[in-house]
Amino acid sequence: MTNAASPTHPLSALLADVAVRRQHGATNPIIQALTLDSRQAGPGTVFFALRGAQTDGHQFIGKAVALGAAAVVCEEMPAEQQADTLYIEVADSATAMARMAATFYGHPSRQLKLVGITGTNGKTTCATLLHKLFRELGYHVGLLSTVQNQIDEEVIPATHTTPDAIRLNELLARMVRAGCTHTFMEVSSHAVVQHRVTGLRFAGGIFTNLSHDHLDYHGTFDNYLRAKKGFFDALDKNAFALTNADDKRGPVMLQNTAAARETYSLRGPATFRARLIENAVHGLHLDVDGRDAQFRLIGVFNAYNLLAVYGAAVLLGEDATEVLTVLSGLTSAPGRFEPLLAPKSRITGIVDYAHTPDALENVLSTIADIRQPSQQVITVVGCGGNRDAAKRPVMANLACQGSARVVLTSDNPRFEDPNEILRQMQAGVQAPDLGKVLTIPDRREAIKTAVALAQPGDIVLVAGKGHETYQEIQGVRAEFDDRKVLAEMFDLLGK
């Protein structure tokens, strides 16, 4: 796990910010790598035993040590200990891991301007727009997002919205070495709770909005809100905290932060204000802080994303006029309201990552705002398995409210039975809507059917998977790209 750029440190040097409860073993080994997975342990590594959702890393301490781990950080000392291994007991392994990872990689977050974006929807869009914007303004820029990580134009695949603390600091260190001055990253609620971002220095934080998602993980909406707020509570006084004043939970985010409190709004007084002039097929027309601006992005929700991005750029010291000029030319993130026109029939396909009720409602109301009365909307949608089940009936109902026809299908079933997920979705369909709904578990067939149902000029929305290039069934990821399947069906059906 080491490479030429990997640092080495005596273990004692990594404990500077860590409250050690107890320590066993007299050695002070030289550390070459950190890991949270016993299977990756080896000589010169520190193994962090984390209590997870599936299992408890403490069970694997013996395995990590057998593979040669030089040190173990845990919350409970193992009964059996090896004399040549150093055991460190802390109150919280995840916090210790984040602090030690930051130290191990030389605190890369302090060497660039790091901006974190949190909220239910819009994180990828805002982070991607900020990355594109700052590239065009001439900077070297890092990006950590659901779709992919990037160092300037170099793409590094992403497995999570926010990587674990070790991977995160390693990526930030790579960005610093590549000369990046700014990095824009998504901060998921899971990341806050699991301390993936603990110990990082942020130049700023952005809040987009809060609605129903991930209640499977957080339990209650209140816990979910607290997770998001936790990110702002941890910002320091040199940072900015930029919140959406129009979101019911926007002001709460700033309640206990030490950072400079800034707001954006389309409705009232705020640090950064915009007024919607037009929301059309060809894009948004806004008045931003008294400047007239046209954008290529579509939908009122994107007016919020654009305003948040503009505000953050200005708070980072950029010139407002220049920022607006560059922003007007930018297109959205992959799989976010991505249009695809059928060549012969003028059917408009739209692929969107809406996988929450709020996002689906936004996309459908955006389509309603921009469509002609003669254009019918046909929606293909499913819900992921092993994720929040409460959203399933709600999303099916919303699809019915905003569409002429609905094809319910599978998203990523993961380890759940796709038919059971679909039954839970169907429960949300109201009696008068039953006639407009078809249920087709095979996503390819579902898309094909929607395209077959579409008349010239109609709009086919394929929601939920956006940029994803796979479908995950029973732990296996098979190649699947809504954009490709849609294009294939336009072709196959001669549309």
Ligand X SMILES: Nc1ncnc2c1ncn2[C@@H]1O[C@H](COP(=O)(O)OP(=O)(O)OP(=O)(O)O)[C@@H](O)[C@H]1O
Ligand Y SMILES: CC(=O)N[C@H]1[C@@H](OP(=O)(O)OP(=O)(O)OC[C@H]2O[C@@H](n3ccc(=O)[nH]c3=O)[C@H](O)[C@@H]2O)O[C@H](CO)[C@@H](O)[C@@H]1O[C@H](C)C(=O)N[C@@H](C)C(=O)N[C@H](CCC(=O)O)C(=O)O
CB closer to ligand API out of 283 and 335: 335
325 is in an annotated binding site: no
Question: CA 109 to CA 309: how far, in whole Å?
Answer: 20
DSSP state, 353?
-
356 is in an annotated binding site: no
Smallest distance, Å, CB 179 to ligand X? 27
Number of residues this chain uses to bind Mg ion (CB under 5 A): 5
CB closer to ligand API out of 146 and 198: 146
Contact status, residue 340 vs residue 483, Cβ threshold 8 Å: yes
Residue 468 engages ligand Y in binding (rule: CB under 6 A):
no
Span 129-168, contacts to ligand API by CB under 6 A: 146, 161
Tell me the residue length of the chain: 495
CB closer to ligand Y out of 214 and 273: 214
Structure tokens at 427: 């429960």
Structure tokens at 96: 């210790």
36 binds, among ligand Y, Mg ion, ligand X, none (CB under 5 to 8 A by kind): ligand Y
Residue 397 engages ligand Y in binding (rule: CB under 6 A):
no
Here's the x/- map for ligand Y, 149-168, by CB under 6 A: it reads as -----------xxx-x----
Residue 355 engages ligand API in binding (rule: CB under 6 A):
yes
Contact status, residue 312 vs residue 137, Cβ threshold 8 Å: no
Residue 123 engages Mg ion in binding (rule: CB under 5 A):
yes
Number of residues this chain uses to bind ligand API (CB under 6 A): 10
DSSP state, 460?
E
Type and span of the H or E element at 490: helix 482-492
CB neighbour list of residue 202: distance below 8 Å, 6 or more residues apart: 109, 114, 115, 116, 235, 236, 239
CA 318 from chain centre, in angstroms, equals 25
Stretch that binds ligand API, among 91-99, 176-184, 301-309, 460-468 (CB under 6 A): 460-468
Smallest distance, Å, CB 255 to ligand Y? 24
Question: CA 311 to CA 320: how far, in whole Å?
Answer: 9
Residue 387 engages ligand API in binding (rule: CB under 6 A):
yes
CB neighbour list of residue 90: distance below 8 Å, 6 or more residues apart: 18, 19, 20, 21, 73, 74, 75, 96
Please report where in the chains the tokens 């579902």 appear, as a residue: 446
Q: Please report, for residues 181, 333, 446, the alpha-carbon distance to residue 138 in angstroms, rounded to integers and kept in the order given.
A: 10, 20, 44
Task: Convert 333-366 to b/e letters by CB count within 10 Å (16 or more is b).
Answer: bbbbbbebebeebebbbbbbbbbbbbbbbbbbbb
Smallest distance, Å, CB 217 to ligand Y? 6
Type and span of the H or E element at 96: helix 93-104
Question: CA 462 to CA 443: how far, in whole Å?
Answer: 10
Residue 214 engages Mg ion in binding (rule: CB under 5 A):
no
Residue 146 engages ligand Y in binding (rule: CB under 6 A):
yes
Span 58-117, contacts to Mg ion by CB under 5 A: none
Among 86, 116, 88, CA closest to 198: 116
122 is in an annotated binding site: yes
Structure tokens at 363: 């996309």
Span 157-216, contacts to ligand API by CB under 6 A: 161
Residue ranges binding ligand X (CB under 6 A): 121-125, 146, 161, 186, 208-209, 301, 304-305, 336, 352-354, 358-359, 362-363, 466
Residue 410 engages Mg ion in binding (rule: CB under 5 A):
no
Smallest distance, Å, CB 309 to ligand X? 11
Residue 490 engages ligand Y in binding (rule: CB under 6 A):
no
Question: What are the residues binding ligand API (CB under 6 A)?
Answer: 146, 161, 355, 384, 387, 411-412, 464-465, 468
- Residue numbers of the site for ligand Y (CB under 6 A)? 36-39, 50, 52-55, 57, 60, 146, 160-162, 164, 188, 190-191, 217
| Binding-site entries for meso-2,6-diaminopimelate | 387, 411-414, 464, 468
Binding residues: 36, 38, 119-125, 161-162, 188, 194, 196, 387, 411-414, 464, 468
List the binding residues for ATP. 119-125
